[in-house]
Structure 1
Amino acid sequence: MRHIGGRGAVVLGVTGLVAPLTLALGAAPAQAASCTTRTGPYQKQAEKFLGRPVDGRQSAADCSAIRNFQTTHGVTPAIGYAGPVTWGVMDLVSRQRAVGNKPNRDGKCPTNKGRIACVNLTLQLSWIQDGGRLVYGPVPVRTGRDGYETRTGLKRIYWRDLHHVSNLYDVPMPYSQFFDGGEAFHSVALSMWNPPGSHGCVNMTSKDAQRYWSLLKTGDDVFVYGRKPGT
């Protein structure tokens, strides 16, 4: 979330990514809308992801499982239709899980900076490392949507505000740590997979934002790379 003005060494590994449904924060309750009987273009992929029988035909049980996934991850409309947005979120979750506890296996986040917060836009993951040692994460994040892309490159935390409120969007941004203009790490009451994304900030769950707040300080480096799907 970009703003104008305002007021205001434990390794997690991938515990949160093994069962990502539990990480959704502030997800809407189950919707009363009826399940669709339509078979979506990504029906087989959704069935495989959810551990359902893979036959490519929508059933009541398939729809219920897909709708539960949609509701938890903030995908709308949550009617159990396996469309491109739903499959995009499922595919992202799968790729996040595959990272395991080696988020910097590609070596793209610098290891010669000491403590640094890394943000992989392509995988929508962030972590903190110290040299080659993983300090915290990786954790799922929610970055800038199309037209508000989170800017890439090497940055530095220059301002921290525990109870920041954006006066551009008039929304709270708890645990804000600004690293590039109005772009900051901060918590939000949304699923990290909720499309289409933020207005540029790196959104986190409250738990992860609190840990970032405790582990980072003004002057620490931040490295952002990759490209968010759909931008």
Structure 2
Amino acid sequence: MYTPPAFRLDDLPELHAILRASRLATLVTATDEGLLATPLPLFVVPDEGPLGTLYGHVARANPQWSRPPRGEALALFAGPDAYVTPSWYATKQEHGRVVPTWNYVAVHAHGTPEFFDDPDRLLDVVTRLTDLHESARPEPWTVADAPERFVQGQLKGIVGLRLPIARLEGKRKMSQNRSAEDRAGVAAGLAASDRAGDREAAALIAPGDPSAA
């Protein structure tokens, strides 16, 4: 991922927080038959390995797990993003030399994927994923709410994924390269948007001196 220094994220806890918040990732592998990609929820175990380890599962019918990858796999995580109109820049009024852009947060996790079908490990992955995404509900659903025989049957239709992270690339492009006045204009414009993602992006735009962003 092309990442100018002003946009680079290196703090490991911050990178892990983005992984947890992204909810849905895209797993990409290169095979002898070409690139394969699958959208899937993943969770990170931060203290398993130097950079953490990702877990999830794919459908057994999905050919991605059975096609040997050429080199590392890539898990793509996206955070808040927003279109930025030049109309929000103070410098538009000064000289007009401005163009549209896109603000976004992204993390790329590289590693060698391991697939497994052990029922106990699969049940653990499914349970942890479920608990993660049900925890905020007033009455969380749990895997134990379903009949055990039904759950065991469902587990036969999936394959587990373990991805020890060998390299993490993080990028937060939130107008750090613009003046404080331009950033204030972008933040105000996005904060007034009807789109929730725009308002999330607005909260990530740092005020003050660009060199401190």
Is TM more than 0.5 here?
no
> Of Structure 1 and Structure 2, which has the larger fraction of its residues in strand?
2
State TM-score, norm by structure 2: 0.24
TM-score (norm 1): 0.23
